């Protein structure tokens, strides 16, 4: 009896250990959610008319809450629109389970999704989308023809037999897998860099930072400007009171200042700070074509990082005057226009691949009206180095995990020291 009870106890412990081991080995992983995991659509084989917008905000659609991925376009012929999405957390080793995602279309259309590894693609799962309805899909991998483990390098999405001259928008959000194996190295991985471990070479532009003109580089087309906050009538009224190019509210000004002075921040929030501050300032413009389009610069910088497999990272810089409305009395019945200046840096990614990366300073990625670029030094683990335009600076991090990059900038008599945060993988 005692021996039997002991045997049963050992067997039970063994079973629990096995179950716990399995639970730790198989976990759900989110590829994209809340606009925090920007990826890239691979150019090779892309037939979507436009590249994705990774942080789109067209309002909330029920359980699809902005931001989300947006794919839009129109063609003069009927056909299939397809593309492969790459996310920072890929490649992943999946084993059974389901692929989850939310999709929505502005038209009645046939949607398809599939998986790709280094050498082959799964079958396509099709869903008929009803216009202006959010569809929450949970697709067993078996329905994609994946019956065993699979090393996912990309997620393919498509709209099929889209009519000619029909402008169609596809929204995608909350993409993930229910069963990803821990501590299993994918048997094959797809790098966005060159083959045979040859470092991806970045070619510096001949852009002038002060110019408002930029050509597309890695992106297939120029990005649209941020929508303007002021009507033409409001602009004319404000321009009669100030010669500033940009006019924000006092609260917006304080948010910008606090974001630059922040001493602690997640890597994901740090990645968005430059973009969000530029969005705040540039959308509150009083005049058009004053500086280069920050959205274009940011997404081009994202593409550089992705194409290098996150080993070559552009430094985003802004050096420009603006103004803000400050309350002139306790009731805020009247306002004073106060001049301010933005001197800031940013990164287009929340993570880098490996402890050694190249930081590049290309005038293409600088938003300014100044003819002279700010002097910049970059510090990691207390070691500071100067970075000059059209040169790369090699950074080495002491370990994996969250790391701090201190950027020291000087423009005229202005000095700013800002902390950027990045995860080293």
Lowest model confidence (mean pLDDT) among 41-45, 137-141, 154-158, 197-201: 197-201
Neighbours of 247 (CB within 10 A): 24
Tell me the mean pLDDT in the region 81-106: 90
Question: Exposed, middle or buried, 77 (CB in 10 Å: 0-12/13-18/19+)?
Answer: exposed
> What is the rounded average pLDDT of the residues 377-404?
93
Between these two residues, 152 and 148, which has the higher pLDDT value?
152
Alpha helices in 41-182 (DSSP H): none
Q: In the predicted model, is pLDDT for residue 195 greater than 60?
A: no
Which of the four pLDDT bands, split at 50, 70 and 90, describes residue 351?
confident
25 pLDDT more than 70: no
Which tops the pLDDT comparison, 43 or 305?
305
Give the model's pLDDT for residue 85.
Answer: 92
Flag whether pLDDT at 424 surpasses 70: yes
Across the chain, which distance is largest between two alpha carbons, in Å? 96
Average pLDDT (1-18) is 38
Tokens for 260?
Answer: 């630059």
Which range of 28-32, 288-292, 297-301 scores highest in mean pLDDT? It is 288-292
Segment 207-224, tens digit of pLDDT: 999 999 999 888 767 888
Residues whose CB falls within 8 Å of the CB of residue 186, separated by 6 or more in sequence, listed in order:
91, 92, 93, 151, 153
Residue that the structure tokens 């902390």 belong to? 419
Q: Does the pLDDT of residue 96 top 90, yes or no?
A: no
Q: What is the pLDDT of residue 34?
A: 76
Q: Which residues pair with 65 in a beta bridge?
A: none
Residue 18 has pLDDT above 80, yes or no: no
Pairing of strands 168-181, 125-129: unpaired
Contact assessment for residue 248 and residue 281, using Cβ atoms and an 8 Å cutoff:
yes
State how far Cα 217 lies from the chain centre: 17
Q: Which pLDDT does position 19 carry in this prediction?
A: 36
Residue 84 has pLDDT above 70, yes or no: yes
Q: Tell me, what's the pLDDT at 199?
A: 56
Q: Mean pLDDT across the stretch 110-114?
A: 94
Which residues are CB-neighbours of 348 under 8 A, at least 6 positions away? 271, 298, 301, 302, 304, 305, 313, 314, 316
Looking at residue 142, its pLDDT comes to 86
Q: Which residue has the higher pLDDT, 333 or 245?
A: 245
Mean pLDDT of 415-422: 96
In this predicted structure, the answer to whether residue 196 has a pLDDT above a threshold of 90 is no
Which secondary-structure segment (H or E) carries 21?
Answer: helix 2-25
Euclidean distance between CA atoms 22 and 10, whole angstroms: 18
Please report which residue ranges of 123-248 form alpha helices under DSSP H: 232-239
Token couple for 89: 């957390």
pLDDT score of 5: 37
Question: Band of the pLDDT at 182, cuts 50, 70, 90?
Answer: low
> What digits encode the pLDDT tens for the residues 225-252?
888 899 999 999 999 989 999 999 999 9
| pLDDT attached to residue 282 | 95
Return the higher-pLDDT residue of 65 and 366. Answer: 366
Percentage of the chain exceeding pLDDT 70: 89
In three-state secondary structure terms, 229 is coil
Cα 180 from Cα 92, distance rounded (Å): 7
pLDDT of res. 362: 96
In terms of DSSP H, where are the helices of 169-313?
232-239, 250-261, 267-283, 294-307
* pLDDT over 80 at 181, yes or no: no
Lowest mean pLDDT among 115-124, 187-196, 270-279: 187-196
Quick one: pLDDT band at residue 334, thresholds 50, 70, 90? confident
pLDDT band at 197 (very low <50, low <70, confident <90, very high): very low
């Amino acid at each position: 009896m005692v021996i039997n009870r002991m045997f049963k106890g050992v067997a039970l412990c063994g079973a629990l250990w096995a179950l716990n081991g399995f639970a730790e080995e198989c976990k759900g992983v989110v590829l994209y959610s809340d606009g925090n995991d920007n990826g890239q659509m691979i150019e090779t084989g892309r037939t979507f008319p436009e590249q994705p917008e990774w942080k789109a905000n067209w309002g909330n659609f029920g359980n699809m809450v902005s931001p989300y991925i947006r794919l839009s376009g129109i063609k003069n012929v009927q056909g299939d629109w397809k593309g492969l999405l790459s996310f920072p957390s890929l490649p992943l080793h999946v084993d059974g389970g389901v692929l989850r995602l939310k999709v929505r279309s502005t038209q009645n259309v046939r949607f398809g999704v599939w998986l790709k590894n280094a050498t082959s693609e799964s079958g396509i799962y099709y869903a008929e989308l009803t216009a202006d309805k959010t569809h929450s899909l949970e697709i067993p991998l078996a329905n994609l023809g994946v019956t065993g483990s699979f090393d996912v390098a990309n997620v393919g999405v498509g709209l099929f037999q889209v009519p000619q001259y029909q402008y169609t928008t596809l929204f995608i959000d909350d993409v993930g897998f229910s069963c990803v194996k821990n501590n299993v190295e994918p048997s094959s991985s797809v790098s966005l860099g060159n083959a045979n471990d040859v470092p991806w070479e970045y070619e510096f532009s001949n852009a002038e930072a002060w110019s408002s003109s930029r050509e597309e580089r890695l992106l297939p087309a120029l990005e649209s400007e941020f929508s303007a906050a002021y009507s033409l009538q409001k602009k004319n009224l404000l321009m009669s009171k100030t010669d500033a190019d940009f006019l924000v509210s006092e609260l917006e000004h304080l948010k910008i200042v606090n974001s630059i002075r922040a001493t602690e921040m997640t890597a994901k929030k740090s990645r968005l700070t430059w973009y969000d501050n530029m969005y705040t300032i540039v959308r509150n413009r009083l005049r058009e074509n004053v500086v280069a389009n920050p959205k274009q610069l940011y997404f081009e910088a994202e593409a550089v990082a992705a194409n290098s497999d996150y080993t070559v990272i552009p430094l985003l810089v802004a050096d420009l005057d603006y103004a803000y409305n400050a309350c002139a009395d306790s009731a805020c019945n009247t306002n004073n226009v106060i001049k301010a200046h933005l001197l800031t840096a940013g990164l287009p990614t929340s993570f880098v691949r490996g402890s050694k990366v190249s930081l590049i300073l290309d005038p293409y990625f600088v938003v300014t009206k100044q003819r002279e670029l700010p002097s910049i030094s970059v510090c990691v683990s207390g070691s500071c180095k100067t970075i000059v335009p059209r040169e790369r600076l090699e950074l080495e991090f002491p370990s994996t995990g969250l790391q701090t990059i201190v950027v020291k900038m000087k423009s005229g008599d202005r000095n700013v020291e800002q902390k950027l945060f990045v995860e080293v993988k």
